[in-house]
C-alpha cells in the first residue's frame, strides 16, 4: 500500500501536469514542519511552538549565504540543516529543564523573539522587505522549480526519506522508548530510561526535518521574509499535525494537504475564508480528536472486528461447526486411505 502511494505521488502529478506538481510541492514543503510537530507532540508529548523558527532560520541561511557567493547546493543544504540543529538545540535545553505549560511558553516566546531577528540586521536579512535567493536554479541542483518535474521529484524524495526514517526509528527500540516516556515519564525513568536523553534526540531529529523544509522552501520560492520565523507559521504546523493526527507519520502530511487545499479553495470563493476554515477546524477537533488518520484507523479496526465476527458466527441453516475430534477423525481416515 505504501509503495503504491509513493509511486502515485511520483507519477500522477507530473503526468496530469498543469499546476498540480507546484501545488503538491507546496504541501510537501509545509508538511515537513508539521511532521516535526507530530513527532514531538505525538510521541514525546511535548507541544513545541518553535518549529516555525527552525524552519525560518534554515530558509534565511540559504538566502544569506547565496548573497555571499555560496551557490553550491550541497553546502547550502548542510548549512541549512546545521542551523536547524543549532536552533533545535535551544529547544532541547527547554525539554530538559521544563515540561507541560512551561515548555510550551518557552518555545512560544522564543519563536516570537526569532521573528524580530531580521529587523535587527536589515543589511544582512533585508528587514521587512525580505531577501531573495541568488542563483535559484544553481542552488537547486540545476532543477528549475517552475519548469519540468525534476524539482518536484526532489521534494518527493526528501519527504519520503524523512517519513521512512521516522517510521523506522519509531518502530525501533529508541522510538518505542520515546513513546513510553511520552506516555509516562516517571515510570520510564523508574525502569532505567534516560528521559532527558530521549527528549533531546527527538527534538534534534524533528529539528532536522523542519530545517529541511525551510531549505526546500528557499529553493522553491527563491525568497524569504520575516513571517517564516513568526508565530503564525509555527501555529499552522501545529494545526496541520493535529488535524491529520500526531500519532501516525502520514497524519501531519495529510492534515497539511487538506487544510491548505481548503484555504486555497475558500480564498477563491469568498473573502471570509478564514471564518470557514476556523469552523472546519472546530468540527475536526470536536468530531475527530485523534485526527483524520486516527479516525480512519478506528474505522479499519471496526471493519476487521465485524469481519472476524461474521467468520466465527454459527450459521442458522442447520449446519454445525465441526469439532476438533471430528476433524482429526476425518484426517486420520484420509491418511489411512
Q: Any idea what the CATH number is for the domain that residue 102 is in?
A: 1.10.3470
Grid coordinates given for 126: 533585508
Which residues in 93-128 are b (16+ Cβ under 10 Å) and which e?
ebbeeeeeeebbebbbebbbebbebbeeeeeebbee
More confident site: 92 or 298:
92
Mean pLDDT taken over the chain: 84
Does any domain span residue 183? yes
pLDDT at 121: 87
Does any domain span residue 135? yes
More confident site: 1 or 23:
23
Does any domain span residue 163? yes
Grid coordinates given for 54: 527552525
Q: What is the pLDDT of residues 161-198, one digit of tens each?
A: 999 999 999 999 888 888 888 888 888 888 888 899 99
φ and ψ at 272, to 5 degrees? -100, 40
φ and ψ at 161, to 5 degrees? -60, -50
pLDDT at 54: 94
pLDDT at 270: 59
**Model confidence band, residue 291 (pLDDT cutoffs 50, 70, 90):** confident
List helix spans (H) across the chain: 2-16, 20-37, 51-67, 73-97, 100-115, 117-120, 122-125, 150-171, 173-183, 185-190, 195-221, 231-244, 251-269, 273-287, 291-312, 324-336
Is the pLDDT score of 250 beyond 60?
yes
Does any domain span residue 331? no
Does any domain span residue 12? no
Domain that holds residue 262: 23-304
Grid coordinates given for 14: 507530473
More confident site: 36 or 8:
36
φ and ψ at 131, to 5 degrees? -145, 130
- How many structural domains is the chain composed of? 1
Q: pLDDT above 90 covers what percent of the chain?
A: 40
Does any domain span residue 94? yes
Report the greatest alpha carbon distance in the chain. Answer: 94
Does any domain span residue 246? yes
Beta bridge partners of 223: 132
**Residue 100, Ramachandran bin (φ over 0: left; ψ between -120 and 50: alpha; else beta):** left
Does any domain span residue 295? yes
More confident site: 207 or 270:
207
Is the pLDDT score of 152 beyond 60?
yes
What does the pLDDT average to over 101-118?
Answer: 91
Prediction pTM value: 0.85
CA distance 231 to 216: 20
pLDDT at 333: 39
Amino acid at each position: 500500500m505504501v509503495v503504491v502511494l509513493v509511486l502515485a505521488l511520483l507519477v500522477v502529478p507530473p503526468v496530469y501536469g498543469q499546476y498540480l506538481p507546484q501545488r503538491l510541492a507546496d504541501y510537501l514543503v509545509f508538511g515537513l514542519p508539521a511532521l516535526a510537530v507530530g513527532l514531538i507532540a505525538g510521541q514525546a508529548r511535548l507541544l513545541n511552538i518553535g518549529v516555525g523558527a527552525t524552519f525560518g532560520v534554515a530558509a534565511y541561511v540559504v538566502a544569506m549565504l547565496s548573497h555571499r557567493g555560496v551557490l553550491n547546493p550541497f553546502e547550502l543544504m548542510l548549512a541549512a540543516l546545521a542551523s536547524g540543529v543549532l536552533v533545535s538545540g535551544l529547544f532541547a535545553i527547554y525539554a530538559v529543564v521544563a515540561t507541560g505549560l512551561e515548555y510550551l511558553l518557552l518555545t512560544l516566546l522564543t519563536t516570537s523573539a526569532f521573528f524580530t531577528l531580521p529587523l535587527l540586521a536589515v543589511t544582512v536579512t533585508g528587514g521587512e522587505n525580505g531577501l531573495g535567493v541568488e542563483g535559484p536554479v544553481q542552488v537547486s541542483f540545476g532543477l528549475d522549480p517552475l519548469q519540468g518535474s525534476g524539482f518536484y521529484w526532489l521534494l518527493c524524495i526528501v519527504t519520503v526519506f524523512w517519513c521512512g526514517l521516522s517510521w523506522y526509528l519509531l518502530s525501533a527500540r529508541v522510538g518505542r522508548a520515546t513513546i513510553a516516556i511520552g506516555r509516562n515519564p516517571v515510570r520510564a525513568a523508574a525502569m532505567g530510561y534516560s528521559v532527558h536523553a530521549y527528549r533531546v534526540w527527538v527534538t534534534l531529529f524533528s529539528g532536522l526535518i523542519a530545517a529541511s523544509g525551510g531549505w526546500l522552501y528557499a529553493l522553491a520560492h527563491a525568497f524569504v521574509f520575516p513571517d517564516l520565523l513568526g508565530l503564525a507559521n509555527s501555529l499552522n504546523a501545529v494545526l496541520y499535525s493535529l488535524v491529520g493526527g500526531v500519532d501516525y507519520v502520514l497524519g501531519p502530511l495529510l492534515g497539511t494537504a487538506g487544510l491548505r487545499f481548503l484555504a486555497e479553495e475558500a480564498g477563491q470563493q469568498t473573502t471570509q475564508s478564514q471564518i470557514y476554515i476556523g469552523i472546519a477546524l472546530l468540527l475536526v477537533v470536536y468530531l475527530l480528536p485523534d485526527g483524520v488518520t486516527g479516525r480512519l484507523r478506528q474505522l479499519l479496526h471496526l471493519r476487521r472486528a465485524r469481519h472476524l465476527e461474521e467468520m466465527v458466527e454459527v450459521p442458522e441453516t442447520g449446519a454445525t461447526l465441526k469439532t476438533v475430534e471430528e476433524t482429526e477423525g476425518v484426517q486420520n481416515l484420509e491418511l489411512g486411505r
